[in-house]
Amino acid sequence: MLLRSILANFEERRLNETRASTDSFRDNTLREMDNVLIIRDATETDFDQWRALWDQYNVFYGRVGSTALPEEIVLSTWKRFFKPTEPVHCLVGEYAGRLVGLAHYIFHRNTITVENTCYLQDLFSDVSLRGKGIGRALITEFEKRASQEGTVGVYWHTHISNEPAIMLYDRVATNTEFIVYRKNLSKKPT
């Protein structure tokens, strides 16, 4: 009887693993024979590929031409990722030897918890690979990193017109229904 129970358990586990494997295959994620999606910290050698994704992200949000980010901001942002004293971090998604996604996040204090919180400021995946699990994988790693640092919550926002992102975000987090207001302030003379 015990042997029968063990064998039944084993068979059920094997069947579940097969189902999970089949579901993953059908899931339309980035998995092929020798290629898998790798989520990792950006390295300084990633600059050119990161820049291409960063430029696409900024074009998506209308920061192009006369409204493009100045080069000083782009380079300053990149350099911050590699300074240990900075609270700004960059994850990248790599697939088949090329970068296919990015996530920028910032740890900061807040007034409603003792612990820091973490803001996912930018999330972007290669437009030709949307729906392949890149965004979800970047969010999962972002949450893991935030948790490892002792934060008790993470947050982000998106534009109301970004329907593909909203579909993903509605599955992985709660829409707080807060509205974001922004006002640019002029630089004070030095």
pLDDT greater at residue 65 or residue 33:
65
**pLDDT value for 97:** 95
Between the CA of residue 46 and those of 41, 103, 178, what are the distances in Å?
Answer: 10, 14, 35
**pLDDT value for 150:** 95
All structural domains of the chain with their residue ranges: 1-30, 33-172
pLDDT greater at residue 75 or residue 1:
75
11 three-state secondary structure: helix
Q: How many Cα atoms within 13 Å fall on the side-chain side of residue 156?
A: 24
**pLDDT value for 4:** 46
pTM of the model: 0.80
Q: How confident is the model at residue 5 (pLDDT cuts 50, 70, 90)?
A: very low
Which letter, b or e, does each residue of 75-88 get, where b requires 16 or more Cβ atoms within 10 Å of its Cβ? Answer: eebbebbeeeeeeb
**Assigned token pair, 172:** 């992985």
pLDDT greater at residue 28 or residue 92:
92
Domain 33-172 class in CATH = alpha beta
Q: How confident is the model at residue 125 (pLDDT cuts 50, 70, 90)?
A: very high
